[in-house]
Chain A
Amino acid sequence: MNEAADQTHSLNCTQCGAGLDVLGGGRVKTHICSYCGAELDAQDDYKVIQQFRDMKRPDTPFDLGMTGQLWGVEFTIIGTMAWTEYYEDKRWTWVDHQVYSPTHGYGWLTVDKGYVTYTRKTREIPSPPFISNSTIEHNESRPLVKFQGETFQYFSSGTASPTFIEGEFNYRPSLDDSVRYVELMGSSRMLDIVQSGREREYEVTELPDQAALLSSFGVATNRRPRQKGTHPLENLVRSSLQLFTRNVALIGAAVAVVLGIGLSAKGEQIARSGQTAVSSEITLPFEVTDDTGLTEITIEANANNSWAWFETELTDAEDEPVAAFERGIEYYSGSDWKEGSRKARTRLTLPTGTYTLYLSMTEAKVDWTGGRLATNMSVTVRQGVAQVMWVFGAATFLGLIGFLFLGQRFLHHQSRWSGSDWSDD
């Protein structure tokens, strides 16, 4: 390292003479002039190594020299690199900023889709150390990598090239570089396997608190990037009120279900006829003593692969007609199926009092192979039966509120992985 350069905080470009700030510490290898694009060798008296021309400046909220804190550590923006990746007719762009901390060394801030991530290189090697294109093409499930005790799943891969370079770097970048990367996602960080020429490096990326980061670096409100979609590292964070709402709704749904099951069993049998030949009429007197709820009249007949039609009339204590209804019973079955029911249920709201039920079969027919006409019928009367539709309806409503939150988590998960280029096909 040139000792003079280490002590200097600014220099003049040896190509164009423009004043350049020296921000990056003792391990800076190159300095690309912001004005003329000359790449200067920071370790050899800033001699011109090569000249970059016609570079289009990328849109980024950060400038060289900006200083801010990441997890309590102060970093300075020392370099800017814009990247482009092409695949078929698609194009992706992002901007990397090399950052420097006197205590924590070098890292990168990346601006991609409006999100700013922090990336640092690691010397630890994952297992397996590399994922080839062939593995990605032929694996039936996402390739996995173990790193620091955590499993990372394949997210994407590609080859990118720089389109703009400015400032200081701890290596020698070039517009002719081509970097192949394989990106894998863990629970809260991403692992990149980066291959450039023969060199392979591993990088760990995290998503800092965006508002805190931008404020710390002094990014003006009008320069803050507009976020597009959900970042893969963005966790779904629910407020305590949301959690409370979800939990109360789900508990309420469970309570309503239990109530519904309990109310389904509510009701008291108050009359039952014996088995009666369908050629006869059933006359069944009964007394309703509890007018809370419904009175349920259930007709039963032993139809088999046939149907039967019943007429019912209800009279009060003065033998005045109160209600009339007709009900059909049809029951069909095979060796492994059955359809219909041998019971027909009718529910009425009856005031307390004495009633008489008249039941007769009016028509029946066999319309299936091996069918048999109903020969016997019976009727049962219960009082105080509940209409459980209401409590199950409440359970459904409350359950939906709770499940909306689960749906939100599912959608968030889908959104996080939407940028992945993995296909199960």
Chain B
Amino acid sequence: MIVRVVFVVLVLGLIGAATFMSINGVWGDSSAVISTRNGSPGGGYGIGGRGVK
């Protein structure tokens, strides 16, 4: 029984995390966009980037 509960929790957690990341647009920035803001640390795009600063 506990295995089933754990599996359901994992599935719900996976869907929940995916929904959260989708709504927040994680890794959704287009490529080849140049952040031109002066002083923008490390640009703004690419893996781990957090958009236009």
Contact assessment for A266 and B38 in the assembled complex, using a CB-CB cutoff below 8 Å:
no
- When chains A and B are docked, how far (Å) is the Cα of A350 from the Cα of B30? 12
B residues 25-50 near A (Cβ < 8 Å) are 25-30, 32-38, 44, 50
Contact assessment for A294 and B37 in the assembled complex, using a CB-CB cutoff below 8 Å:
no
Among candidates B17, B19, B32, residue contacting A263 with C-beta atoms closer than 8 Å: B19
Contact assessment for A325 and B30 in the assembled complex, using a CB-CB cutoff below 8 Å:
yes
**A397: CB under 8 A from chain B?**
yes
Chain A residues with CB below 8 A from B37, complex form:
316, 320-323
- Give min CB distance, A82 to chain B, whole Å: 47
- When chains A and B are docked, how far (Å) is the Cα of A111 from the Cα of B44? 71
Contact assessment for B19 and A323 in the assembled complex, using a CB-CB cutoff below 8 Å:
no
Contact assessment for A349 and B19 in the assembled complex, using a CB-CB cutoff below 8 Å:
no
Chain A residues with CB below 8 A from B25, complex form:
292-294, 347, 349, 385-387
A residues 188-245 near B (Cβ < 8 Å) are 241, 244-245
**A5: CB under 8 A from chain B?**
no
Chain B residues with CB below 8 A from A348, complex form:
29-30, 33, 51-52
**A346: CB under 8 A from chain B?**
yes
What are 19 A-B interface contacts by the 8 Å CB criterion?
A241-B4, A252-B12, A256-B15, A259-B19, A293-B24, A324-B34, A326-B32, A348-B33, A348-B52, A349-B25, A349-B28, A349-B44, A351-B52, A386-B25, A388-B22, A389-B28, A390-B18, A391-B18, A394-B15
Which of B's residues lie within 8 Å of A, judged by CB? 3-4, 7-8, 11-12, 14-15, 17-19, 21-30, 32-38, 44, 50-52
